[in-house]
Amino acid sequence: MPTLGQLVARQAHRAPTRDALVHDGRRITWAELDSDVNRATAVLQRGGMVQGERLGVMSTNCDDLVVALYAAAKLGLLVVPINPRMAAPEVTWLLEDSGATGFVFHPRLAATADKARAAASTPPRFHLPLGPTPDRPQDLRSLMAEAPDHEPGTAVSESDDAEILYTSGTTGRPKGVLLDHHRAIWAGLNVTTTVGMADGERILQVAPLYHSAGLNLFLHGGTAVGATHVLLEAFDPDVVLDVMESERITTFFGVPTMYQMLLDRPDFAGRDLSAWRLGMFGAAPMPPVTIERLRKAAPQVQLFNLCGPTEAGPGGVGLGPEHIADRPSANGWPILNTEARVVDSEGNDVAPGSTGEVVLRGESVMKGYWNNPEATAEALRNGWLHTGDVARIDDDGCITLVDRMKDMIITGGMNVYSVEVENAVAAHPSVADCAIVGVPHPVYGESVVAVVTPREGCSITIEDLRSHVSTLIADYKAPHRLVLGEVPRNASGKILKHVLRERIGGEQGALS
């Protein structure tokens, strides 16, 4: 199997004149990209970076980010992708935890990068913006102009470490997921094969590339099949629709809120989206009502629900277009080259219809957590990755996630799974977004609280919500309290439930 850097070189030989990257009016062919990557590798070498060191990379989606990622791969560095929305203290923590000796960043993020580096106990010695800034004499792009474009000659193998991907931190401090080239490439190939991505695909890359799905599944997976990557730095539904039309986008991956915002555009039906054929979603549950809207509004699109943790590459289970209509709440079966089971606390398979923890095994599962042997031993047991996800398994092996183990609500001795309640709440016509959390209750143990963002111009009461939900799920699962406001999510679309619990947990409310 090739390494990540070799993926680019192979496409440069196979399809040299095809567009590899499209960003901000610039078009870069595969031959040009490979040349740029080699030049950037030379800059890193001249800056003292050596194989096995860690390179922090903080940027929005752009062509220079892609160049830096593949340059690090060719040199045998471990990339540490950093969320560009992080504050300086958060960035400092990631740099220190990973032991990064290099740090490259988008020019707009220079102030945050400088603060983060200055606060580090051992500041990265290689510190450079990706492009020009007004007050700096050097940047990666300008130094590349003076660097040679030949292959660096570094002996990198597929078993060499390639990435430290920090988990989203929905429950506290993130942990660094360690992947080598083999695992990162398998993560991409498993998904591209599962969904049927083909040679010459045109992928809209608007999901952030610092996240494991954008990076491994769609950047590396797309590069492996010779796709053209059309890069957007931020999600704006009107811009996305414009680009999908003008660039004849065939493949789109987004979190459910992105799809909902696209569908809500009044001109969606009039857009020429005839080239669009693959629509993947993940990172958070998609309400069945949104899936049905998508199927009606864009019937030519094959929809795939992809579900899996960063610790698996990401990888796990998937639900394709043949089942998306009749089982919209399900997550599906193991994707290619992946095994999935639902087990009890002793590690035994649960009976069909029962719930348990999802465990995974496959080529893309992490080597472990960076410098965290205790957490690694807890997650990787007897050859299986324990995900912490609670799921139900059907007679035919179909898996449906119902909650995180730590998010399950026990009220009055009854188990309530938040995803099931969220799907019911989301079906209310006045609900734009929602989350379900449990907070302490003096009598019942926990109270079911719905946090709801109403649709524009709509209002909703707890009585309305309970009446609606009780027609879809058991009445004891219906929310006991309603909190109106924005649902906090991280950049990958996951609900920050620990934030919600902290925000509303101190209030006591009566069960109605």
N-terminal to C-terminal alpha carbon distance within the chain:
60
More confident residue, 408 or 115: 115
**Strands 355-362 and 384-393, bridge-based pairing:** antiparallel
The pLDDT assigned to 473 comes to 84
Note whether 280 and 252 are within 8 A (CB).
yes
Mean pLDDT of 174-190: 96
Point out the least confidently predicted range of 26-35, 290-299, 406-415, 435-444: 406-415
- For residue 329, pLDDT over 90 is answered with no
Looking at the structure, tell me whether residues 395 and 416 fall in a common domain.
Answer: no
Domain membership of residue 357 (yes or no) is: yes
Residues 144, 119, 95, 105: is their CA dihedral positive or negative?
A: negative
- What CATH number is given to the structural domain containing 55? 3.40.50.980
In order, the DSSP letters of 345-367 are TTSPBPPTT-EEEEEEEETTS-S
CA distances from 124 to 40, 51, 101, 128 (A): 18, 15, 4, 10
Looking at the structure, tell me whether residues 308 and 428 fall in a common domain.
Answer: no
The span from the CA of 223 to the CA of 217, in Å, is: 10
Residues in a beta bridge with 179: 163
CA-nearest of 333, 356, 368, 334 to 167 is 368
Looking at the structure, tell me whether residues 240 and 132 fall in a common domain.
Answer: no
Mean pLDDT of 176-201: 97
Domain membership of residue 179 (yes or no) is: no
Looking at the structure, tell me whether residues 148 and 221 fall in a common domain.
Answer: no
Domain boundary among 358, 384, 404: 404
Note whether 56 and 80 are within 8 A (CB).
yes
Mean pLDDT of 210-237: 96
Looking at the structure, tell me whether residues 392 and 442 fall in a common domain.
Answer: no
pLDDT band at 505 (very low <50, low <70, confident <90, very high): low
The span from the CA of 181 to the CA of 49, in Å, is: 19
Domain boundary among 368, 386, 404: 404
Looking at the structure, tell me whether residues 373 and 433 fall in a common domain.
Answer: no
Looking at the structure, tell me whether residues 288 and 251 fall in a common domain.
Answer: yes
The pLDDT assigned to 411 comes to 84
Tokens of 1: 């199997």
Looking at the structure, tell me whether residues 112 and 137 fall in a common domain.
Answer: yes
Looking at the structure, tell me whether residues 282 and 386 fall in a common domain.
Answer: yes
Looking at the structure, tell me whether residues 318 and 280 fall in a common domain.
Answer: yes
Domain membership of residue 392 (yes or no) is: yes
pLDDT band at 168 (very low <50, low <70, confident <90, very high): low
- What CATH number is given to the structural domain containing 312? 3.40.50.12780
Tell me which DSSP letter residue 310 carries.
Answer: G
Looking at the structure, tell me whether residues 391 and 413 fall in a common domain.
Answer: no
Let me know if 377 is exposed, middle or buried by CB neighbors in 10 A (0-12, 13-18, 19+).
exposed
Q: Cα 169 from chain centroid?
A: 12
The pLDDT assigned to 395 comes to 95
Domain membership of residue 172 (yes or no) is: no
Mean pLDDT of 437-451: 85
Domain membership of residue 83 (yes or no) is: yes
The pLDDT assigned to 170 comes to 47
The pLDDT assigned to 384 comes to 97
Residues in a beta bridge with 435: 451
Looking up tokens 């109403």 gives: 454
Domain membership of residue 418 (yes or no) is: yes
Mean pLDDT of 480-491: 88
Segment 364-421, tens digit of pLDDT: 999 999 999 999 999 999 999 999 888 999 999 999 988 776 777 888 777 787 888 9
Mean pLDDT of 110-139: 95
Residues in a beta bridge with 99: none
The pLDDT assigned to 169 comes to 54
Domain membership of residue 194 (yes or no) is: no
The span from the CA of 349 to the CA of 355, in Å, is: 10
The pLDDT assigned to 492 comes to 66
In order, the DSSP letters of 35-82 are HHHHHHHHHHHHTT--TT-EEEEE--S-HHHHHHHHHHHHHTPEEEEE
Secondary structure element (H or E) that encloses residue 66, with its range: helix 63-75
- For residue 508, pLDDT over 50 is answered with no
The pLDDT assigned to 474 comes to 80
Tell me which DSSP letter residue 448 carries.
Answer: E
Residues in a beta bridge with 129: 105
Secondary structure element (H or E) that encloses residue 164, with its range: strand 161-166
- For residue 512, pLDDT over 50 is answered with no
- Domain holding 126, by residue range, is 4-16+26-156
Tokens of 404: 């995180």
Count of the separate structural domains present in the chain: 3
Residue 488: count other Cβ atoms within 10 Å of its Cβ.
Answer: 16
More confident residue, 72 or 136: 72
The pLDDT assigned to 500 comes to 87
H helices present in 343-491, as ranges: 373-379, 418-426, 462-469
Domain boundary among 92, 122, 156: 156
Residues in a beta bridge with 481: 449
Residue 323: count other Cβ atoms within 10 Å of its Cβ.
Answer: 15
Domain membership of residue 165 (yes or no) is: no
- For residue 87, pLDDT over 90 is answered with no
- For residue 444, pLDDT over 80 is answered with no
pLDDT band at 442 (very low <50, low <70, confident <90, very high): confident
Tokens of 281: 């979603």
Residue 483: count other Cβ atoms within 10 Å of its Cβ.
Answer: 19
**282 three-class SS:** coil
- What CATH number is given to the structural domain containing 496? 3.30.300.30
The span from the CA of 89 to the CA of 319, in Å, is: 39
Looking at the structure, tell me whether residues 284 and 334 fall in a common domain.
Answer: yes
